[in-house]
Structures are given as C-alpha cells and as structure tokens.
Amino acid sequence: MKLPAPRLSVLAALAVLSLALVLPAFAPNPELSDVMDEMKARLKALGGALAAKDEPASLEAVSAMQGLALQAKGYIPVGTSKLPKEAQAAHVKAFRKELLGLLRHLADLETEVLDGSWDTATQHATVTLKQVRDAAHDRFQEQEQPR
C-alpha cells in the first residue's frame, strides 16, 4: 500500500525528530577544560562587544559566561584526586564558591551593560574578571610537574 505524500512527509519528519532527540544522549560530555576554553572565548568576545558598545552582543557574551559558570559547578577540579582524602571535599567546595563569586561578578557586569555604564563594564571585564580568573587558575589548575 502506498501512502499519500503528506502522510509520508509527516512520517519522515517524525523519524528525524526522534533521531534528533536521541543523539544528544550519545554526545560526549565536555571536559572542564572545554568549558573553561569556551569561557575564555566568550570573555574575548565580551571585550570586543564592550569596546563597540554593542549591548546585544555584550549581553549574549555575559549570558553565555553565566551558563558556562553554572555548568562548571558540576565538575570536580582537575587534580582533586591527588589531594589527601580529607582535603578533597573542601577543595571541591572552594571551587564551587569561586564559581559563585564569578557569577556575582557577571551579574554586576550585566547590570553595568544594561545601565550603559560602558567604561565601568569594560574595566570589570578587562581587569576584575581577569584577576578573578588568574587567581582561580593559580588555585585550581593542576600545575605541571618539573621534569
């Protein structure tokens, strides 16, 4: 029995839709380093958007960074397993608190963009966020051992 063309297209659409719903389950989870690399890229984009006083692009970059910070909270920092067992939970908790601090800075920066405070927002992004990032990297990034 041959199906009429409209029914066939509906069936094809349903097949594609079901495949689209299943595929994300098989997508690999990004590593924490991937999330942080994306955060770095978004910070760079934010700098350009702020310099151009481009509100939509600035807000998009800040929102993306907020989402990435929330995503990063679900990870255990690299090297945690190398710490003594009694220090591991405190290290993970400190990592989450660091990300909460970042989220506060990003919320302040978003407010500055919404208020049109471009100089303040630029200072926040180019100085404060970079200082926060550098301090967090010193504390949570696994350092290479000298050879």
3-state SS of 81-105?
Answer: HHCCHHHHHHHHHHHHHHHHHHHHH
Please work out, in degrees rounded to the nearest 5, the angle formed at the alpha carbon of residue 102 by the alpha carbons of 96 and 106: 145
Tell me what percent of the residues of the chain surpass a pLDDT of 70: 76
* Domain annotation covers residue 98: yes
List pLDDT tens digits, range 104-137. Answer: 999 999 999 999 999 999 999 999 888 888 888 8
Tell me the CATH number at 106. Answer: 1.20.120.10
Number of folded domains in the chain?
1
pTM for this predicted structure: 0.74
The residue segments making up the domain with residue 52 are: 29-140
**Cα R_g (the chain), whole angstroms:** 21
d(CA 75, CA 87): 16
* Domain annotation covers residue 22: no
* Domain annotation covers residue 8: no
d(CA 102, CA 53): 22
* Domain annotation covers residue 52: yes
* Domain annotation covers residue 20: no
User: Burial of 16 by CB count in 10 Å (0-12 exposed, 13-18 middle, 19+ buried)?
Assistant: exposed
Separation of first and last alpha carbons in the chain? 72
